[in-house]
Amino acid sequence: YDMGVAIELAASEAYAPMRYLRIALLTIFVLLVVAVGVALGSTFSLAQLDREVRQLGQYRIQGKIDEGGMATVHHAVHALLKRPTAVKILKPALATDELIERFEREVTLASRLQHPATVEIFDYGRTRDGTFYYAMEYIDGITLARLVEKDGAQSAPRVAHILKQVCESLREAHSKGLVHRDIKPANIMICERGGESDVAKV
C-alpha cells in the first residue's frame, strides 16, 4: 500500500553498527601490521644468521664439499690471503662435551703432522654462537675411489707410487700416537703439487 513509518533516532544509536565494523577493521589492520613486522624481523634474522654461517673467523664459506656423521666440510677462502681452504664444521646438534673434546684432540694431533702426503691443518676456532670448526689445506683433486670408478684399475707402478706416500703419511701419524681409523679410497686424494702429478693426500 506504499506506506512507511519515519522515526527519530539518536546519531549514536543509528551508527552503532558502524562502530563495531570500524573496531573489526582496525583489529585486522593491527594484526596485518604485526604480521608484516614479524616477517621483516624473521628475514633480517635469517640474513644475519646466513652472514654468520658464511663467515667463520677469517674464512669465507663458498659451498659444501662433503658431509659426514660428525661434521660437514666446506670450500672456503681466507679473507686476507685469498687462499683456498677446506673448513670442517662440527654439527651443532652433536656438539656434546665429549664430541667437542674429541674434535679438539683431532685438530691438535693432526696439526703436528708434517708429511707432505698428510692434509695440513691451518687454523682452529669457534664462532660466537659456539660452532666449532677448523681450517685445512684444500685439495683440488680426485679421490682414489672416484679415480678407479672413472678410469678402472690403475697400473702397478702408479698404485705402488700412491700407496708408498699413503704408508709414509700413516707411519708418521702412528709414530705420534694418532690412528686414522678410516683409511679407504674415498679418504685418499690424488692431486698435483709443485708441478708433480699423482701426489697423494690422506
Rounded to 5 degrees, what are φ and ψ at 118?
Answer: -105, 135
How many whole angstroms separate alpha carbon 92 and alpha carbon 130?
8
Is 86 in a helix, a strand, or coil? strand
DSSP 182-193: --SGGG-EEEEE
* Distant-in-sequence contacts of 51-56, Cβ < 8 A, 24+ apart: 52/127, 52/128, 52/129, 55/79, 56/87, 56/89, 56/125, 56/127, 56/131, 56/133
Q: Three cell numbers at 80? A: 686476507
Give the distance from CA 26 to its chain's centroid. 45
Distances from the Cα of 197 to the Cα of 160, 169, 170, angstroms = 14, 17, 20
Cα distance between residue 44 and residue 52, in whole Å: 12
Catalytic residue among 2, 97, 151, 182: 182
User: Which of 90, 85, 87, 100 minimizes the C-alpha distance to 69?
Assistant: 90
Task: Establish whether 151 is a catalytic residue.
Answer: no
What residues act catalytically?
A: 182
